[in-house]
């Protein structure tokens, strides 16, 4: 895990240093590849037809099936939604990036949610903020629904 | 597939993430993605505390041997052999943890640019010896668990 995490940190830092916020444009494209692989390797196809169901299904995959995080709680508004993730496997990477002034854009949850919401529901979303709380080992991903 | 222990589902998934990043960048930027090789190497050397990246070497042979040993020590690969000639630097790697990813990328026509060996070597050669090198060939043999990486000196 240590080496793989270091690679993810290294790639993210290098791209951010070169492209700045432009790196965020890769978010859904990374998500697309991850979702394809989820389907190929883990046999996971997202089938839900509403945003609530879809987010619940994603949470189930990350928590129950993969053990990538301990919990995945969704809060929904009319034009936004947020996901509070506890015990994410990449929490330490995200925390370091934020400390180093980098807005994380390689976060499989964020990437796959951004892509799948657009692909399955035709809803465009944009990441508004990522707040890491190391003390409580939680991360809150806030998305804005566009259009 | 991996020689250095079996990947856990989480590790397997992180490998998927790395593959996803590499493919997304390649789809958007094509060969320009290769420009990130050295920068990624710099971050990686810092993050993994690969101290040889900051040492001074008198020859390319000495430098590539040192980086190979450091990566082996970190468990990234099982064995590595470097050969340097007038125009090329050739690494023969056995049991690299990212081998399955590299194979897939190669099949899809993507030139890998996230490879700890490549990243660290390119960064170190440029930074410590003023030698610029670019990837000229990569051959993955999943059956034998080997990978040959060839750099052309510029």
Residue B113 has pLDDT above 70, yes or no: yes
* Average pLDDT value for chain B: 89
So what's the ipTM on this one?
Answer: 0.89
Which distant-in-sequence residues (6+ apart) come within 8 Å of A108 by Cβ?
A: A31, A34, A62, A68, A90, B13, B17
Give the mean model confidence (pLDDT) for residues B57-84.
91
Average pLDDT over residues B112-138: 90
Contacts of B20 in chain A (CB under 8 A): 30-34, 37, 111
Q: Tell me the average pLDDT across B33-61.
A: 90
Q: What is the DSSP string of B45-93?
A: HHHTT-GGGGS--SSHHHHHHHHHHHHHHTTS-SEEEEEE-SSEEEEEE
Per cent of chain B over pLDDT 90 is 57
Element (H, E) at B113: none
Q: Give me the mean pLDDT over the B109-115 stretch.
A: 92
The answer to whether A143 touches A81, Cβ cutoff 8 Å, is yes
In chain A, residues with a C-beta closer than 8 Å to the C-beta of B15 are: 4
Beta pairing class for B133-141 and B79-84: unpaired
The model's confidence at residue B2, banded by pLDDT at 50, 70 and 90, is very low
Beta-ladder partners of A71: A86
pLDDT in tens, A94-107: 999 999 999 999 99
Q: Is the pLDDT of residue B80 over 60?
A: yes
Of B10, B14, B75, the CB nearest to A8: B14
Cβ neighbours for B86, distance < 8 A, ≥ 6 positions apart: B153
> Given this model, what pLDDT does residue B12 score?
87
Instruction: Reduce the secondary structure of A116-138 to three states and give it as a string.
Output: HHHHHHCCEEEEEEEEEECCCCE
List Cβ neighbours of A114 (8 Å cut-off, separation of 6 or more): A27, A28, A31, A125, A127, A143
Cβ distance B16 to A37 less than 8 Å, yes or no, reads: yes
The alpha carbon dihedral of A123, A15, B46, B87 has a sign of positive
* B25·A26 Cβ contact <8 A: yes
Interval A4-49: pLDDT, tens:
999 999 999 999 999 999 999 898 899 999 988 877 766 667 777 7
Q: How far is B136 from chain A (nearest CA, A)?
A: 21
Interface A-B: count of C-beta contacts within 8 A = 100
User: Would you call B14 and A5 a contact, using CB atoms and an 8 Å cutoff?
Assistant: yes
Q: Do B43 and A9 touch (CB under 8 A)?
A: yes
pLDDT digit string, tens, across residues A50-97: 888 888 888 998 999 889 999 999 999 989 999 999 999 999 999 999
């Amino acid at each position: 895990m240590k080496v793989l995490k270091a690679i993810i940190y290294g790639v993210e830092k290098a791209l951010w240093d070169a492209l700045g916020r432009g790196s965020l444009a890769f978010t859904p494209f990374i998500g697309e590849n991850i979702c394809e692989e989820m389907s190929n390797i883990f046999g996971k196809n997202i089938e839900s037809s509403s945003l609530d169901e879809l987010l619940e299904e994603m949470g189930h995959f990350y928590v129950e099936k993969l053990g990538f995080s301990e919990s995945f709680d969704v809060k929904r508004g009319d034009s936004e939604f947020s996901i509070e993730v506890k015990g994410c496997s990449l929490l330490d990477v995200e925390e370091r990036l934020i400390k180093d002034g980098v807005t994380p854009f390689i976060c499989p949850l964020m990437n796959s949610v951004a892509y799948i919401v657009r692909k399955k529901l035709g809803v465009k979303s944009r990441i508004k903020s990522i707040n890491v709380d190391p003390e409580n080992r939680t991360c809150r991903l806030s998305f804005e629904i566009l259009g | 597939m991996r020689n250095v222990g079996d990947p856990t589902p989480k590790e397997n998934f992180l490998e998927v993430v790395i593959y996803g990043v590499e493919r997304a960048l390649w789809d958007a930027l094509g060969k320009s993605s290769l420009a990130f090789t050295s920068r990624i190497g710099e971050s990686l050397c810092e993050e993994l505390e690969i101290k040889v990246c900051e040492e001074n070497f008198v020859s390319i042979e000495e430098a590539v041997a040192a980086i190979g040993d450091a990566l082996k020590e970190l468990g990234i690969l099982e064995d590595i052999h470097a050969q340097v000639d007038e125009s090329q630097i050739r690494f023969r790697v056995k049991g690299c943890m990212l081998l399955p990813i590299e194979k897939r990328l190669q099949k899809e026509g993507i030139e890998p640019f996230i490879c700890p060996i490549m990243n660290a070597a390119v960064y170190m050669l440029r930074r410590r010896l003023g030698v610029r090198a670019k990837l000229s060939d990569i051959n993955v043999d999943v059956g034998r668990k080997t990978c040959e990486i060839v750099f052309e000196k510029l």
